[in-house]
Amino acid sequence: MRTLPCSLIASVAGSSFPAYPFSFTVHSVFPRAANLRPSGGGFLLSLVSDAAKAHPHSSVVPSARFEDWGLLPGDPGCFDGEVIRFGAGRGGGRAAAPEITLPRSRRPADDESPSRGRPRAESLRAAADAVEALRAERRAEPSLAELFAAAPPAGNGFSARFVRAARELERAEAARSVPLFLAAARKLAGFGPGLTPAGDDFLCGWFAGQRARAADRPGSAAFLDECGAAAFGAGALGAAALGTAEPGADALSAGAHGTGGLAERTNDISAAFLADAAGGRFGSALVAFADAVIADAAIAARSADEIANSVAVLGDLGHSSGTDAAAGFLFAYREEIGG
């Protein structure tokens, strides 16, 4: 019988992981992650064992194997502002699951956003080549060639519908039109295979790419903020969502269902990632990929090997989730890449 530790210490907590007390129930459990549903409603919170898979709504518990903790969906728990404790549930959580002490501080939101800058053409090409190769290996659709082609694929298959929605997203950004953005985003949200659907991952990557480009595009950041608020509600982008202030009774859920209705079009796990992306905050692997591609004008361009390594780390997220996000990021640079 495996003996579990009675307590663990989390190494880092994301900017959106609340610092105030709350109760929760277990939403889902995987070998390297456990998702918690706050009792007040709102986006899911995650415990993850791999720092490369950290995201703003997560806390990293190094090397944890959550499937060994005896937790089942619906098991109760609470966070007192310092320690997470699981109550006795159907899975015998009190006996098996350790207490988890979280750090008092939260990861700065700036660390969860990509650098802003103008990537070199060779960096974009190296990233596109590495992403396309990995997508081909995993038979992910659509290919970058289809996304960047002058005209979308013919027909009404998955790739054709996906590319048409992506082009609508592109037109919305060019016109700085929030209604056009919402129309395109509704077609992508929840669309495609995966625990986090391909369309959602693509949207997250697209938001990251647009945030990275904002420094050279006056008004772009404000437009993205408007899109996020329209999609998920202003509460999704405020202090409560960042875990920096104790909310009122309904503040946790204030941003969960904005006027754009994107949360309702996908599953709970993916909705949390989308809401963070809409607010300009992203997972560690996507930020690392973006930074490898962009680099800084004052330092040498990243080598193709370094960029390929960042693609491999990002690509380790799900079967195609990481490369879907990478495709979305690169799509934001379609004009620069040559599409």
* Portion of the chain with pLDDT greater than 90, in percent: 65
Within a domain: 59: yes
Mean pLDDT across 301-321 = 85
User: Does residue 317 lie within any of the structural domains?
Assistant: yes
218 and 143 in a single domain? The answer is yes
Residue 239 has pLDDT above 60, yes or no: no
Task: Give per-residue pLDDT as tens, 119-157.
Answer: 888 889 999 999 999 999 999 999 999 999 988 888 889
Is 243 domain-assigned?
yes
pLDDT above 80 (res 240): no
**Is 149 in the same domain as 272?**
yes
What is the C-alpha separation between 244 and 235, in angstroms, rounded?
Answer: 13
Lowest mean pLDDT among 161-170, 215-224, 291-300: 291-300
Which DSSP letter does residue 119 get?
Answer: -
Statement to judge: residues 22 and 119 lie in one domain: no
Pick the closest to residue 6 from 94, 80, 98 (CA basis): 98
- Residue 326 near residue 143 (C-beta atoms within 8 A): no
Could you tell me the pTM of the whole model? Answer: 0.89
Asked which of 89, 107, 125 is the last residue of a domain, the reply is 107
Q: What is the mean pLDDT of the chain?
A: 86
Q: What pLDDT score does 255 carry?
A: 42
Residue 80 lies in a domain: yes
Domain boundary among 64, 82, 107: 107
Taking residues 300-322, report their average pLDDT: 84
**pLDDT tens digits, 93-116:** 455 789 999 998 999 988 999 988
* 197 and 79 belong to one structural domain: no
- The number of angstroms, rounded, from the C-alpha of 138 to the middle of its chain's C-alpha atoms is 21
Same domain membership, residue 184 and residue 38: no
Domain identity same for 144 and 260: yes
Q: How confident is the model at residue 49 (pLDDT cuts 50, 70, 90)?
A: very high
Average pLDDT over residues 303-308: 81
The pLDDT tens digits for 250-301 are 333 444 444 567 888 899 999 999 999 999 999 999 999 999 998 754 445 5
The sign of the CA dihedral 56, 82, 236, 28 is positive
How far apart CA 207 and CA 124 sit, in angstroms, is: 17
2 assigned to some structural domain: no
Q: State residue 6's pLDDT score.
A: 74
Q: Which residue has the tokens 């408007």?
A: 226
Q: Is residue 1 part of a domain?
A: no
Q: What's the whole-number mean pLDDT along residues 218-222?
A: 89
Task: Count the domains in the chain.
Answer: 2
Is residue 76 over pLDDT 90?
yes
Q: Are residues 42 and 141 in the same domain?
A: no
Domain region containing 71: 7-107
Residue 52 covered by a domain: yes
Cβ neighbors of 242 (< 8 A, separation 6 or more) are 15, 16, 106, 109
99-101 and 7-9 strand pairing: parallel
pLDDT of residue 232: 86
| pLDDT score of 298 | 44
Q: What's the rounded mean pLDDT across residues 26-42?
A: 93
The answer to whether residues 165 and 126 belong to one domain is yes
Examine residue 51 and state whether it is found in any structural domain, yes or no. yes
Single-letter code of the amino acid located at 289: F
| Stated length of the chain | 339
Tokens coding 26? 């277990």
Q: Are residues 161 and 55 in the same domain?
A: no
Single residue among 66, 86, 107 that ends a domain in this structure: 107
pLDDT bracket for residue 4 (50, 70, 90): low
Residues 144 and 268 in one domain: yes
Does residue 140 share a domain with residue 54?
no
Q: Which residue has the tokens 């992403």?
A: 131
Residue 260: its pLDDT value, please?
A: 64
Cα separation, 334 vs 205, whole angstroms: 13
103 and 118 in a single domain? The answer is: no
pLDDT at residue number 235: 53
The amino acid sitting at 228 is G
pLDDT confidence band for 42 (50 / 70 / 90)? confident
